[in-house]
Structure 1
Amino acid sequence: MPEIVTAAMLVIGDEILSGRTKDKNIGHLADIMTAIGIDLKEVRIVPDEEDEIIAAVNAVRARYTYVFTTGGIGPTHDDITADSISKAFGVPCEYDARAYAMLEASYAARGIEYTEARKRMARMPRGADLIDNPVSVAPGFRIGNVHV
């Protein structure tokens, strides 16, 4: 009997909880996972609060094969997902040299200033693997079974 592959999804953001932004990721990701045989078992929507993100990540990463997050890795001051995931794993959040260089080159090619805010998108937990992002270049990351 093959092992059942399971997943949880964490939707991170006050804008989802307030209704200012309507989630479009849950259904999309559920469709993709179902199509490839991953059983989505749980979805949590959590606020932009470090303690809440850490608690949710640690709870679901222990229960499921995969954890997918949405929200919270942009260039604004309230995007605290990378910091929170780092703390959940007990590692520092730092600039990833590969991500930093990719973003720097992308902005330079378009003649756009590589500001401190934009550089924040190159921050991730130490030891994380990059997840390619063909849409905006800013990579996601994977650490353990958590995909951000």
Structure 2
Amino acid sequence: MNAQAAPTAAVLIIGDEILSGRTKDTNLNTIARFLAALGIDLMEARTVGDRQDQIVGALNALRATCDYVFTTGGIGPTHDDITADAVGAAFGLAVAEHPEALAILERRYGPGEFNAARRRMARIPEGGSLIANPVTDAPGFQVGNVFVMAGVPKIMEAMLQDVAPRLRTGAVVHARTIRVLGVGEGAIAEVLRAAADARRDLSFGSYPFGFGGEGAVGTQLVIRGRDEAKVDLAEHDPCRELRSLGIDIAVT
């Protein structure tokens, strides 16, 4: 990959409970914000069930096209926690108890509490390195460019503390938001198109709000780019054009 390009990442969310709707995923949003602060571009996110073939297929596809892949879910003590085995299969690695993970878990549980189910959480693909878990101690792990973390949001977020120093960072993306009041996005689409055509090195997005009885109707125009000066300049033309049309706006 181009050394000057921003690092790229993908997220693989694992769990039947997510696909069934019983559990609402919040990990994707947390990871996206974490990566944005490091200047890493999140390119794709997928959700798969607790089926090894699906996990292996998705993981191999994502890790081949992105610098980093983050998985959440499936590393607990129960029979459906199969992520370690799936990652091992994806990399062609045997899965075995990691001595350090075993020691961490033995310290965590009292006499008679460290049963066979909890011992499963010490299994990781051979050659993998641990990701610290400051909440419940049971570690995640890294194999190659893949970071395997818990599905419980509080635990997953805590694990990111240990992941951050391992990542190559890039320039942070800056954003400016033009809040257009009282007008739907269809009425200002041409203004946005002209601005985007004039500055193709930046990203322009349109996001309507206020529908379904949520209050005032309007549109947010968001300009994004890694060069803050260019982002600042890019807001001038659409703002001038919108004001000339008598449209109320606010810039943040």
TM class by shorter-chain length? over 0.9
2:229 maps to none
What is the match of residue 79 of structure 2?
Answer: 77
Tell me what 2:10 maps to: 8
Larger RCO (CA within 8 A; separation ≥ 6): 1
Q: Which amino acid aligns with 1:45?
A: T
How many residue pairs align between the two structures?
146
Aligned residue type for 1:78: D
Structure 2 equivalent of residue 30 of structure 1 = 32
Larger radius of gyration between Structure 1 and Structure 2 = 2
Aligned 1:105-120 pairs, distance under 5 A? 105-108=107-110, 113-120=113-120
| C-alpha distance in structure 1 between counterparts of 2:130 and 2:34, whole Å | 20
Tell me how far apart the structure 1 counterparts of residues 96 and 89 of structure 2 sit (CA, whole Å).
12
> Any idea what SS the aligned residue of 2:106 has?
helix
Aligned partner of 2:154 in structure 1 is none
Detail structure 1 runs of 4+ shifted over 3 Å in the superposition.
Answer: none
Which residue identity lines up with residue 28 of structure 2 in the other structure?
I
CA distance in 2, matches of 1:27, 1:123: 28
Shift of 1:3: 2.4
SS across alignment from 2:109: helix
Superposition map of 1:23-102 within 5 A: 23-102=25-104
Q: Report the TM-score, using the length of structure 2 for normalisation.
A: 0.57
- Residue in 2 that maps onto 1:132: 132
Q: d(CA) in 2 for partners of 1:77 and 1:104? A: 20
Mapped partners of 1:50, 1:106: distance in 2: 29
Equivalent residue letter for 1:128: G
SS in 2 for 1:62: helix
CA apart distance, 1:2: 2.4
- Percent identity reads 56
SS at structure 1 position matched to 2:11: strand
